[in-house]
Amino acid sequence: MSMNAATAYQSNNINTSSPAKLTLMLYEGTIKFCNIAIVAIEEKDIYKANLNILKAEKIITHLRMTLNFKYQVAQDFDRVYDYIYERLLTANMQKDKEVLEEVIEHLRGMRDTWKEVMKLGKVN
Q: What percent of the chain has pLDDT over 90?
A: 81
pLDDT score of 5: 53
pLDDT score of 106: 98
The number of folded domains in the chain is 1
15 contact partners, CB below 8 Å, separation of at least 6: none
Residue 38, domain CATH:
1.20.120.340
For residue 78, is it within any domain?
Answer: yes
Give the orientation angle of helix 73-94 with respect to helix 46-65, to 10 degrees.
170
For residue 79, is it within any domain?
Answer: yes
pLDDT band for 53, please (50, 70, 90 cuts).
Answer: very high
Supply the range of the domain harboring residue 105: 18-119
pLDDT score of 123: 62
pLDDT score of 121: 83
